Structure 1
Amino acid sequence: MSKTETQSAGKGTCIKTGAQIIVDILQEQGVETVFGYLGGVVLPLFDKIYDAKFNFIIPRHEQGGCHMADAYARATGKTGVVIATSGPGATNLTTGLATANMDSVPLVAITGQVRSDLIGNDAFQEVDTTGITRPITKHNVIVRDVSELASTLREAFHIANTGRKGPVLVDIPVDVAVSSIEWTEPGVIDMPGYKPRLTGHAKQIKTAAQAINSSQRPVLYVGGGIISANASKQLSELAEKANVPVTMTLMGLGAFDQKKPLSLDMLGMHGAAYANFAVQESDLLISIGARFDDRVTGSLKTFCPNAKILHIDIDPASISKNVKVDIPVVGDAIQILPELAALCEHKERKDWFARIAELKKRYPLTYDKQNGLLKPQMVIEEVYNQTKGDAIVTTGVGQHQMWAAQFFKYSRPRQFITSGGLGTMGFGLPAAIGAQAACPDRTVIDFDGDSSFNMTLTELSTAVMYKLPVKVVLLNNGYMGMVRQWQELFYGKRYSQSSLVNPDFGKLAQAMGATGLTCESKDNLQETVSKMLASEGPCVVDFHIEPEENVWPMVPSGKSLHEMDGIDILERLA
């Protein structure tokens, strides 16, 4: 047994193979659904999976399977699990692992490896999986001895879903999977070198409360860490008691109910103008579970020029990494926020809220509704209205992602699932499948773009095979939309290689066994959305939208957060 596992007195033992131990550990950890793809060196494991008690979903590509496990984790808060074979099976996971790592998603990837005696000999389907994935996982390890397999897997689950969460990869040579060992009931996980700090420093929390109480123009700036910590309720209690407006990052959408008056919606490059102006004019920025990435801050030199920065985060490495922090508090938000709220006073701040109301009125998130063409924002609003805002939403990456962030209002955590840090095109459809597997009774909508959807559309066969009724709202403009927008604004409309020739997506969906619909006019929008939502199985709707519609506002790269393009358009349409 490894040093981290101790034998329980009085417990019986039996002989088990490594493959059986893997299955048993998955069941011990409460895993209900596994995503994975077969291959030669994982056949011993899949033979044991044959009798396993969890659901198993086979994607059409390992990348899709990793995105499914990722979204399953985001939708539930549990640890997602994906299995792949050695060589190309493992390398096909890399984009999914990097996506989960950037967005702090708990995930355990189990990869097969060639026999131990062949490692380093360029054997068939051999790659250095741990070497390749070390920069894109929270932790990874190769198991060389079957006696260490159980403890390693338990530690993998513990590491993945504690502290700043993230993906852990366990690489298992096939000889370890077929080796047998005398199995003993588990003991206690003890990892002296891994002790995430959960409780905040009392003095720092008191200092933070004093700063909030004395502030005239505070803003709460919250990210996905609130959702990871399951601290949305505590966030709302703090915001309402202290009477502080709340803006969210892309990953933080759903952390605070956007229908509440205190909501400033999303900030950043394509965030609401009123959120960006409020942040720039604040005297105290209270960051919780966010990492001050470049899409939020714009130019660091002019970010929040007159504000103190208060940063609450479970990851000490994130404190002052990008922006110098005045008041750091390291720990778990679900523990810190109630302590902070108890020390905060309710302040009216009438002048501050009057200024915010002025900004909201002057620069609303809107678009030209008089234009005769079908607008993407119009499609999203119609879906929002017909689902009563209650759907789980996934997206690919591009313009459609930003429109989904702007025009679908999120009221609860784990409702919006998207690739933030890595910006992974093709994430939307497999993510929808993972979310639907996690939440079979919920409506799951994938807002996707034609370019993004093209990258992983074969996963529609997975949805059909497992009867997962995901709805794909395909905003088809015939371009790589966000790239085209940049080419229009910064490259003189020289649309170099950004236009596409697409298939008939409706007919393609039908050929794959799903429902396929097409909508080319806003006159048919309401009826088409209604048909989509009423369809029993997977459904793809090809919405032919205005080809050169842009996302506004937009903070150009290198500009300050308040230097937004398109605010004159929003002001005119207000």
Structure 2
Amino acid sequence: MTLPSVAADPDATAGAAAVAAAARAGVRTMFTLSGAHVFPLYDAAHRGAAPLRMIDVRHEASAVFAAEAVGKLTRTPGFAVVTAGPGVTNAVSPVTQAHFSGAPVVVFGGRAPELTWGRGALQEMDQAPLFTTITKSSATAHTPDEVGALTAAAFTAASTAHRGPAFVEAGIDVLFAPAGDVGTAVPGPGGRPAPDEESVAEIARLLREARRPIVILGSDVWADGAEQAALDFVTALDLPAIGNGMGRGILPPTHPGCVTRARRAALTQCDVAIVVGAPLDFRIGYGTFGPAGTDTPVIHIADSTDQIATHRTLAASAAGDLGGILRTLCDLVGGPGGWREWRSGLREQADAAGAADAPLLTAGGDLIHPARIYGELLPRLGDDAIVIGDGGDFVSWAGRFVQPARPGRWLDPGPFGCLGAGLGAAIGARAADPDAPIVLLLGDGAAGMSLMDLDTLVRHDLPVVIVVGNNSAWGLEKGPMQLLYGYDILADLAPGTRYDKVASALGGASELVDRPGDIGPALDRALASGTPYLLNVLTDPAAAYPRSTTGL
């Protein structure tokens, strides 16, 4: 193989055009795993006119999960660069997760040379078609002058509602070649048509006539920058509301309208459901609300028309700028309706549910109940803390107990449910926010998929507290299999695996915790350490989460 010539000017190559487009789109960090096919991008990011911080990981999936976290937290696209072949195919699952979550991400992939295409070069495959159904755009730059323009277009696509990932690839010879123009501008997000005024008026009419309304605020409310409008809407109209995904924290847990802990009653007893910025998927019963046997009206408000549900009949819908729609609705409705008693009753149920959790949150005994971990963690979390969930049963408890005080402080895999996303998310979160406490709640099953990237946290000095809920089982599968078959197989892991020793071997700090009373002091040490710190907490395998849905 003849080595390509290296340009004296790192900004003269097509690879530099991709980096320049990323920088103009607001990118400050590139997440990657070293690969020769994309060396020109590294060269430009390292010594070019638009330098980027580069964080290299131990698996390409973690690079994309990190970029997804940046996209979710900052609401500007994250940027991952992966090498050709397996580097690109390793990105498929995290790109799919970003697609399901509506997270703005651009993934740039290396590719076999154009000059020898069709002759069987190393890792020669047409990669862009892999992403056509899970991205906003998927394109191949066949010439040097296309690289900058296609990368800029990818950033525009990723940041235009409905947001999501975009993929660009270019051959190694294309990236090393000179580019005619590396100054391609990055157009801003595409415009959206104004929502239909009659549709918004109909939503206002349905709400005014309601007596038991419920509002569900989803991830797109945060992504669309509509969190203040949503808070004002709920507050001014004295409505009850539930946060979903990144919508958690739009209403702080002390807000009188926050009834997340009364979720079952709210969803099954309402007479109108208003879903804003969330799909009508399995997480909210596929859009079935109200008492059994009733045709409860459902209103769907989305950031783009293609996100409006089509699998069920809607009483009304509107698409467009979510903040503008909510402000218009607030004006049209005018003030609180006849639902104050309903809202107050739901809030009382939510408070009662919280009080009923006290015995679990303080549980003692010889074995650690997973809820006790949250009983110790919650008082130690400030309002600015970022909490990341990566796991099944253990993180289900987090969904129940962790109620963020602010929006944009909660990360989970979303409806795609991809285990192993947590370490990448923690890397991205720390890159996006250098100062906030970050706690990764990691099931022991999920730990097996990505724990090597604790090495990345150590090498790049990215302090994160990792709490492993170690019940030595695939808890999310063990219980359902027992329920279906009367037994379970393939659901047990080795008891007491020393994930803390793995963390120590990788250069992090760690502790094994096997007594309830030791959890709090261990958390104090971890949070004060300023270093990647893993707590391996051995929990009771019999303490399964009492779930009511499996997503099937």
User: Please, what TM-score do these two structures have when normalized by structure 2?
Assistant: 0.91
- Supply the distance in 2 between the matched residues of 1:246 and 1:430 (Cα, whole angstroms): 31
Q: Secondary structure at the match of 1:118?
A: coil
Is this contact kept in 1: 2:32–2:55, CA < 8 A?
A: yes
Q: Secondary structure at the match of 2:163?
A: coil
Structure 1 partner of 2:28? 32
- Supply the distance in 2 between the matched residues of 1:188 and 1:389 (Cα, whole angstroms): 35
- Supply the distance in 1 between the matched residues of 2:427 and 2:86 (Cα, whole angstroms): 23
Structure 2 partner of 1:67? 65
Structure 1 partner of 2:75? 77
Change (3 A) 1:303 1:21: farther
Q: What letter is aligned with 1:498? A: A
Q: CA deviation at 1:557?
A: 6.3
C-alpha offsets along residues 175-230 of structure 1, whole Å, 9 cap, x if unaligned? 2212223327546849xxx9552532222212211221221111001211111111
State, as a whole percentage, how many aligned pairs show the same letter.
Answer: 25
Q: CA deviation at 1:147?
A: 2.1
Q: CA deviation at 1:507?
A: 1.8
Q: CA deviation at 1:484?
A: 1.5
Structure 1 partner of 2:504? 510
Structure 2 partner of 1:323? 312
Q: Secondary structure at the match of 1:495?
A: coil
Q: What CA RMSD, in Å, does the superposition of the two structures yield over aligned residues?
A: 2.3
- Supply the distance in 2 between the matched residues of 1:310 and 1:298 (Cα, whole angstroms): 13
1:229 aligns with 2:219: no
Structure 2 partner of 1:54? 52
Where do 5+ consecutive residues of structure 2 fail to align? 1-9
Structure 2 partner of 1:7? none
- Supply the distance in 2 between the matched residues of 1:545 and 1:216 (Cα, whole angstroms): 44
The 5-angstrom pairing of residues 17-416 of structure 1 reads 17-52=13-48, 53-183=51-181, 185-186=183-184, 189=187, 197-265=192-260, 272=261, 274-297=262-285, 300=288, 305-344=294-333, 345-347=335-337, 349-357=339-347, 359-360=349-350, 363-364=353-354, 366=357, 368=360, 369-370=362-363, 372=365, 373-416=367-410
Q: CA deviation at 1:301?
A: 9.5
- Supply the distance in 2 between the matched residues of 1:287 and 1:301 (Cα, whole angstroms): 11
Q: What letter is aligned with 1:213? A: R
Change (3 A) 1:383 1:184: closer
Q: Secondary structure at the match of 1:128?
A: coil
Q: Secondary structure at the match of 1:421?
A: helix
Is this contact kept in 2: 1:532–1:539, CA < 8 A?
A: yes
Q: CA deviation at 1:150?
A: 1.8
Q: What letter is aligned with 1:92? A: N
- Supply the distance in 2 between the matched residues of 1:556 and 1:154 (Cα, whole angstroms): 40
- Supply the distance in 2 between the matched residues of 1:380 and 1:32 (Cα, whole angstroms): 34
Q: CA deviation at 1:149?
A: 2.0
- Supply the distance in 1 between the matched residues of 2:185 and 2:488 (Cα, whole angstroms): 61
1:530 aligns with 2:519: no
Structure 2 partner of 1:569? none
Is this contact kept in 1: 2:281–2:287, CA < 8 A?
A: no
Instruction: Return the match for 2:444 from 427, 431, 450.
Output: 450
Structure 2 partner of 1:555? 549
Is this contact kept in 2: 1:281–1:306, CA < 8 A?
A: no
Change (3 A) 1:319 1:511: same
Q: Secondary structure at the match of 1:117?
A: coil
Moved more, 349-358 or 395-404: 349-358
Structure 2 partner of 1:495? 488
- Supply the distance in 2 between the matched residues of 1:116 and 1:282 (Cα, whole angstroms): 59
Is this contact kept in 2: 1:108–1:157, CA < 8 A?
A: yes
Is this contact kept in 2: 1:446–1:472, CA < 8 A?
A: yes
Is this contact kept in 1: 2:17–2:182, CA < 8 A?
A: no
Q: Secondary structure at the match of 1:547?
A: coil
C-alpha offsets along residues 156-181 of structure 1, whole Å, 9 cap, x if unaligned? 11110111100000011122212223
Q: Secondary structure at the match of 1:181?
A: coil
Q: Secondary structure at the match of 2:427?
A: helix
Q: Secondary structure at the match of 2:543?
A: coil
- Supply the distance in 1 between the matched residues of 2:478 and 2:452 (Cα, whole angstroms): 25
Is this contact kept in 1: 2:289–2:296, CA < 8 A?
A: no
Moved more, 394-403 or 87-96: 394-403
Q: What letter is aligned with 1:277? A: A
Q: What letter is aligned with 1:28? A: R
1:419 aligns with 2:419: no
Change (3 A) 1:509 1:556: closer
- Supply the distance in 1 between the matched residues of 2:172 and 2:363 (Cα, whole angstroms): 63
Structure 2 partner of 1:568? none
- Supply the distance in 2 between the matched residues of 1:393 and 1:252 (Cα, whole angstroms): 14
Where do 5+ consecutive residues of structure 1 fail to align? 1-13, 266-271, 559-574
Is this contact kept in 2: 1:59–1:462, CA < 8 A?
A: yes
Change (3 A) 1:361 1:467: closer
C-alpha offsets along residues 232-253 of structure 1, whole Å, 9 cap, x if unaligned? 1110100111111001223432
Is this contact kept in 2: 1:292–1:323, CA < 8 A?
A: no
- Supply the distance in 1 between the matched residues of 2:295 and 2:344 (Cα, whole angstroms): 19
Q: What letter is aligned with 2:370? A: P
Q: What letter is aligned with 1:347? A: G
1:473 aligns with 2:461: no
Q: CA deviation at 1:374?
A: 1.5
Is this contact kept in 1: 2:212–2:269, CA < 8 A?
A: yes
Q: CA deviation at 1:321?
A: 2.3
Structure 2 partner of 1:10? none
Change (3 A) 1:339 1:124: same
Is this contact kept in 1: 2:473–2:493, CA < 8 A?
A: yes
Moved more, 359-368 or 201-210: 359-368
Q: CA deviation at 1:349?
A: 2.2
Change (3 A) 1:114 1:235: same
C-alpha offsets along residues 294-341 of structure 1, whole Å, 9 cap, x if unaligned? 232169598873421111102322323233211110112022111111
Q: What letter is aligned with 1:214? A: E
Is this contact kept in 1: 2:258–2:347, CA < 8 A?
A: no
Moved more, 347-356 or 42-51: 347-356
C-alpha offsets along residues 456-479 of structure 1, whole Å, 9 cap, x if unaligned? 000000000011111001111011
Is this contact kept in 1: 2:160–2:190, CA < 8 A?
A: no
C-alpha offsets along residues 73-101 of structure 1, whole Å, 9 cap, x if unaligned? 11211110000111011111111101111
- Supply the distance in 2 between the matched residues of 1:461 and 1:500 (Cα, whole angstroms): 23
Q: CA deviation at 1:44?
A: 2.7
